[in-house]
């Protein structure tokens, strides 16, 4: 076989059908257009098995997506609770510090009030 024979005998129809969009493939001469064909015949055991496998994989993909969604929602809820509790703890700290500052200020005023000047 020579290179020219290899090029001439190459199945260009499948290559062109795979590369070009369908509207451009329709404009090609008939010799370059591949006849439509199925990968797996629909009325065979292999076709039925493929349909079952696709259904099972779709179901598992939905379960996975649902699990990820539930975990994400739970994590967001936990994060919100931690932020709220942190904010409450911080505001409690500020309140306590404010009360201590007010008490210290009152003691300073009393002490300063007893000294002249």
- Whether the full predicted model's pTM is greater than 0.75, yes or no, is no
Question: 12 and 31 in contact (C-beta within 8 Å)?
Answer: no
Dig out the tokens for 24 from the structure: 């451009």
CA distance 65 to 55: 15
Dig out the tokens for 109 from the structure: 């005023």
| Per-residue model confidence (pLDDT) at position 13 | 63
Other residues' Cβ atoms within 10 Å of the Cβ of residue 16: 15
Q: Which sequence spans correspond to the domains of the chain?
A: 1-37, 40-117
Dig out the tokens for 114 from the structure: 């007893």
pLDDT tens digits, one per residue of 7-53: 667 666 666 666 777 777 777 777 766 677 777 777 788 888 888 99
| Per-residue model confidence (pLDDT) at position 75 | 92
- Kindly state the DSSP code that residue 40 receives in the 8-state scheme: S
- On average, the pLDDT of the chain sits at 77
């Amino acid at each position: 076989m020579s290179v020219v024979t290899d090029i001439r005998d190459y199945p260009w129809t499948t290559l062109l059908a795979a590369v070009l969009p369908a509207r451009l493939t329709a404009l090609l001469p008939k010799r370059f257009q591949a006849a439509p064909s199925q990968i797996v015949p629909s009325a065979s055991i292999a076709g039925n098995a493929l349909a079952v496998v696709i259904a099972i994989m779709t179901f598992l993909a939905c379960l996975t997506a649902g699990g990820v969604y539930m975990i994400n929602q739970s994590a967001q809820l936990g994060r919100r609770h931690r932020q709220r509790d942190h904010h409450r703890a911080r505001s409690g700290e500020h309140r306590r510090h404010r009360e201590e500052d007010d008490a210290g200020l009152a003691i300073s005023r009393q002490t300063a009030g007893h000294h002249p000047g």
